[in-house]
Amino acid sequence: MSWPESIYTTLKALDVRQVAYVPDGGHATLLRLLHDDPALRCVPLTTEEEGVAMLAGAWLGGQRGVLLMQSSGVGNCVNMLSLVRTCHFPLLTLITMRGEYGEFNPWQVPMGSTTEQVLRLMDVQVLRADVAEEVGPTVSAAARMAYLGGTPMAVLLSQKLVGAKVFTE
């Protein structure tokens, strides 16, 4: 099973119903799997903080959701994360990393190099997956901490992982 398939399987096993995303090349395979599933509502966003708010609304209505984005999107989410923290919403976000390993575009480095710090500053706990075998278990662990424990969780999918599996195809 590829690592995008392991994420899809994990999200299905945990009854995730809403997927909010700003696309990233690293998430392309996963997004195809999610869009092909009629039981999921996949919602493209114009900016990432929309997804933080949307998944709060989903939880109000009793549904679990996940937010997919690239590391640059984390900066866009900062104030909206006050909603998660103040109301104790169980955020789950899966973030493909740019600007950290072999990045050719220096414009990605400022946000990519501070992604984890920004999340932690806003009280989001961070797990990281660097190799394909870790992805499924790490997403599963984060999802359970979020949905069952109410802890806002981010999983960083490292550029080493994403680059090795997607950009070189």
Angle of helix 3-13 relative to helix 28-35, nearest 10 degrees, comes to 40
- Of the two residues 82 and 117, which places its CB atom closer to other proteins in the complex? 82
Rounded CA separation 69/22 (Å): 5
Show the 3-state SS of 12-36: HHCCEEEEEECCCHHHHHHHHHHHC
| Side-chain-side CA neighbours of residue 4 (13 Å) | 17
106 binds other proteins (CB under 8 A): no
150 binds other proteins (CB under 8 A): yes
**Minimum gap (Å) between residue 89 Cβ and other proteins:** 7
Rounded CA separation 68/20 (Å): 6
- Of the two residues 94 and 166, which places its CB atom closer to other proteins in the complex? 94
Amino acid, single-letter form, for residue 146: A
Return the sign of the alpha-carbon dihedral for residues 16, 28, 157, 5. positive
4-23 residues near other proteins, rule: CB under 8 A: 17-18, 20
Asked if residues 10 and 146 have their Cβ atoms less than 8 Å apart, the reply is no
Q: Pull the structure tokens for residue 26.
A: 């690293």
- Of the two residues 81 and 162, which places its CB atom closer to other proteins in the complex? 81
Select from 28, 32, 36, 44 the one that contacts other proteins (CB under 8 A).
Answer: 44
96 binds other proteins (CB under 8 A): no
- Of the two residues 109 and 148, which places its CB atom closer to other proteins in the complex? 148
- Of the two residues 44 and 110, which places its CB atom closer to other proteins in the complex? 44
Q: Segment contacting other proteins (CB under 8 A): 24-32, 40-48, 94-102, 151-159?
A: 40-48
45 binds other proteins (CB under 8 A): yes
Which residues sit at the interface with other proteins, rule CB under 8 A?
Answer: 17-18, 20, 41, 43-47, 49-63, 65, 79-80, 82-83, 86-90, 150
